[in-house]
Structure 1
Amino acid sequence: MAETTRHSEPRYGNRPTMKDVAARAGVGLKTVSRVVNGEAGVTPDTERRVQEAIDALGFRRNDSARVLRKGRTASIGLVLEDLADPFYGPLSRAVEEVARSHGALLINGSSAEDPVREQELVLALCARRVDGLIVIPAGDDHRYLEPEIRAGVATVFVDRPAGLVDADTILSDSFGGARQGVEHLVAHGHRRIGFIGDQPRIHTTTERLRGYHAAMADAGITVDDRWVSLGTTAPERVRAAAEEMLSGPEPVTAIFAGNNRVTVTTVRVLADRERPVALVGFDDIELADLLGITVIAQDAAAVGRTAAEHLFRRLEGAGHATARVELPTILVARGSGELPPA
């Protein structure tokens, strides 16, 4: 009687194992392990047989054993300010692409610009044993992370520096970008230029305000206190600030908007006015090209990609000193910043 080869099939309700895959493909466990982990040393024909067995059995790799062996979970956390902010979309996608190229899962969440919520979210991710963190900080004291960093959780801060801890930081050049934007307005004849920004405790706000003052000083312009307004980016607050700057006997003839949310509200305010007012916004916004809005554009994807690459270099054992990287911004002239004073 001819010998019949019997394939081991997993019992109903049990997850198929690498042993089941090996039996079905007629190979050893080590061969299955090499295929599953993408290692070299397997012929194309053998790899095909193993993959067919994996597909037939519905095998899924269980990473628990790898975590125990290596102390790594193949996951990283990303803490954003606001998931709805369009700046963070390309940033998050870039981080995810780098993580995926390293075989890691990305878990993200939003601090809603609340330092307490940021800390809770970061520590919750650490409790789930993420290998590393990318944080857009809401607070200015990150000493709560020191035990996690000492325990090996690689950490990179983005958009704003960490507070009171030493960590890699990836920024856009907020000072230089704002300075260039205001210089652009000055070059088109404006002397009364308003600045509407976010809350003063935020690093990017203070840097962009510093750039505004530097450009005005370079032009020999004394800034009137009424030309500067900082606060929340709530539409009603921004609208009130813009309307106040645009009223009175000597209104501003141009506005520099400190971020994309401020720009959107300012565009709506200016749309209702008969007198043209020049506008430059920091951050690009959707439809800005169609609306003719001049902006200082950040490369959010480059910021995310650079942060993720630094993180994985740390995870791979890079022992160099902590880095502070400032990526350049670009002035995109589309018409609104080139209007002359009325």
Structure 2
Amino acid sequence: MTSPYRSHAEQERALIDALASGRMPHAWLLAGPEGIGKAGFARRAATFLIADGDWRAEQGADSLSIDPDDQVARLVANEAHPEFLWLKREVPEAKRPKDGSAGKDEDIARNITIGQVRSLLNRLRVRPGNARWRAVVIDSIDDLERSAANALLKTLEEPPAQTVFFLVSHQPGRLLPTIRSRCRLLRFSPLDDVAMRSVLQSRLSDADSEEIEALLRVGRGSPGRALLFGALRLAEIDARLRAIADSGDPDNRLRVELAKSLSGTAERRRFEAMLAQATALSANLARTAEGERLPRALAARDRIVDVAALAASWSEDPATVTFVVGNALAAISGDARSAPRR
């Protein structure tokens, strides 16, 4: 079980050292932007812990790597190990297919419910019987209902023996302070371009260099974010956005083409990717602009950030929002002909 995220070595070392010292914290808060591998780290840490991790740490282990053919590794990978518990948002029972399958992604609940937490806590009443340690991953702790968070807090205040919690958080500042205070904090940062490119190339072996670079820009250090948009022909969108910013699109042709290509419900994911790409592009242009171009680039960046933040609540269709984004980029050129036409 080898991690593609080389930048997590420091976090792995912290956990191994804690195990080797005999003072293993009962809860770890894995904090950082979404999509940078925190949940993957939690699974690796849980596997290491259950597979005699304290013994491995005492013997000088330098990473959390476990042979994928190891019985514990196989069971954890299939979420079948009795001492590995994974709590996440689920499809409500009323919406689950009768054939027992997981259900549709769009039916997944917005929160982890109090019922799920109570079920988890009931399982923790019994000491681990199949390994020295039990590992609980909550992905993510941000998704807990308030009542669920309060129920979990009581357990963190009086943790079960030989049980370690790995709490994944994308926005740790929004958690109950009492939850944060009972955890050892491990911070995760966005990956650098070298690590990002390596992950994307390993996961998307058929992608050409232009697509990889487009995903690199929209990912902003988050492989999960980039891979989410991996099948959405982002290089095509990226090229149009850059052409609009460079030329000013004086005849509106590029803006109209882009808006048409992103209209309709079937293109919703590509539309969301466009907003992310435009945000990243405008931020980069604002950083590198000089002279008279600088205030125009800053204005475009601020406009696009505002549009992206409000797009989900707007009643306008994606084509209209796309045209607004295109107008902001076109204005950077300073060409009077790029002003929006009605």
The TM tier, using the shorter chain, reads under 0.3
TM-score by length of 1: 0.27
Higher share in strand = 1
Higher share in helix = 2
